[in-house]
Structure 1
Amino acid sequence: MTFLLTSLVIVLLPGAGTVYTVAAALARGARAGLLAAFASTLGIVPHLLAAITGLAALLHASGVAYNVVKYAGVAYLLYLAWATWRDTGALKLDGAPSQAGFAKVIGNGIAVNLLNPKLTVFFVAFLPQFVPAGPGSTAHMLALSGVFMLMTFVVFALYAVLAGALRDRVLASDRIMTAVRRCFAACFALLAGKLAVEPR
């Protein structure tokens, strides 16, 4: 129960994945938002694999390795902020979303969480507390990680559906759309700043 409650709080807290999912749903509709939610969840898998193979422990122990991933994430969030402000990023409108547009949504969604070192720390510092030592520890960790990823997808999917439902109202006014775009650009920039100053 402690694991479930703590994981739910972590997932519910607005982060880069949440912001990107909502932005994709507003720009391209609920389907794109769901794809962004799935992609953001998929971006968790490398952190899980790193934790199981021991790479996450190295990342956690090495300040240099951690900072490389951290500042790559900061740079990517700043890129999303700039692209969104310029109307070429997460909130770029597609009259009829194409396969290429959806592929871009998936790629960006994966990258947003892939370049978040806090997820690796989660799998190193938090998750092992709930994994009993013994032969079945890897399977237990995989099971808990699966639960965490499912919670992530469900919460992000809800955000996507809600944002998709509001899409027509937002698109009805160029002024509102511009304000929303700039708000999301600011959110990406703030998340980049937050990640940059956070200690390990």
Structure 2
Amino acid sequence: MFGITDILTYILGTIFIVILPGPNSLYVMSIASRFGIQTGYIGALGVFTGDLILILCTVLGAASLLHAFPWLFIILKVVGAAYLSYLGIRLLIASVKTWQSKPQSIQADSDLNNRSTVAEFHPFRTALTISLLNPKAIMFYLSFFVQFVDPAYPYPALSFAALSVILQIISMGYLTILIFSGVKLANFFNRRYKVAASCVACVGLLFCGFGLKLATSTM
């Protein structure tokens, strides 16, 4: 159907790939835990938009372009690594501030702080940037998608579109689970501010780790 071969294997493979921890999913879960469901979905929309753009770029030959001009991959890699590290450092700073805060002041000023911090973090723009500054994702989409497209099918664009829709449905379903999980974690950590600060610090370290991994990656 639509030139897709072995769709069941594709769905299972996509599920396993989507649930692997990465900067996109961790970012959505972290902002949902800090700012609520609505902000979590704004971040998820940024991830959705970024993935869609990468898929379109892949179909239009961006992966071949990166192979033809390796310096483009190096630029994207450096910028992406720097941005992920920057986000990680911001989270580490936020964790230190949370650790040093008094529980009473956190509870009393939570609404005001949430509004100001959301404005500073720009969840949609940040999630979109995290998605786009990942050249490895373009390579992944190309190498994964082509395995399930029938080369004899006369409309390969339709095959890629169908595979993309399946991927995005699975991705949004998983991000929804993370968003509501993040909100439940926020309720749990509401009076355990030092534990919350430690978790934020761990996420910050993971983002720095993602940045280092991207900086040392190759095509």
Regarding TM over 0.5, the answer is yes
User: 1:152-163 to 2 correspondence within 5 Å?
Assistant: 152-163=171-182
Superposed CA deviations along residues 136-195 of structure 1, whole A, max 9, x for unmatched, are 100110110111111111111101111111212212122122212211111101111122
Alpha-carbon distance in 2 for matches of 1:38, 1:55: 23
Aligned-partner residue type, residue 65 of structure 1: L
Q: What's the CA shift for 1:61?
A: 4.1
What is aligned with 1:145? Answer: 164
Q: Residues 80-99 of structure 1 correspond to what in structure 2 (within 5 A)?
A: 80-87=87-94, 95=111, 97-98=114-115
**Could you tell me which residue of structure 2 aligns to residue 101 of structure 1?**
118
Alignment pair present for 1:131 and 2:138: no
AA at the equivalent of 1:167? A
Q: Aligned partners of 2:190 and 2:117: how far apart in 1?
A: 22
Distance in 2 between residues matched to 1:125 and 1:3, nearest whole Å:
12
% identity of equivalent residues:
24
SS of corresponding position for 1:87: helix
Report the CA distance shift for 1:170/1:47 in structure 2 as closer, same or farther (over 3 A).
same
Bigger RCO of structures 1 and 2 (CA < 8 A, at least 6 apart): 2
Structure 2 residue runs without a partner (length 5+): 1-7, 99-105
> Which consecutive unaligned segments of at least 5 residues does structure 1 have?
none
Q: Could you say which residue in structure 2 is the equivalent of 1:57? A: 64
Structure 2 distance, partners of 1:47, 1:56, is 10
Q: Say if 2:32 is the partner of 1:25.
A: yes
Establish whether residue 78 from structure 1 lines up as the match of residue 96 from structure 2.
no
- Contact 2:62–2:138, Cα closer than 8 Å, also in 1: no
TM-score, length-scaled by structure 2: 0.82
Indicate if the aligned counterparts of 1:33 and 1:164 stay in contact, CA closer than 8 A. no
Shift of 1:98: 4.1
Which of 8, 14, 18 is 1:7 aligned to?
Answer: 14
Counterpart CA distance in 1 for 2:57 and 2:116 is 31
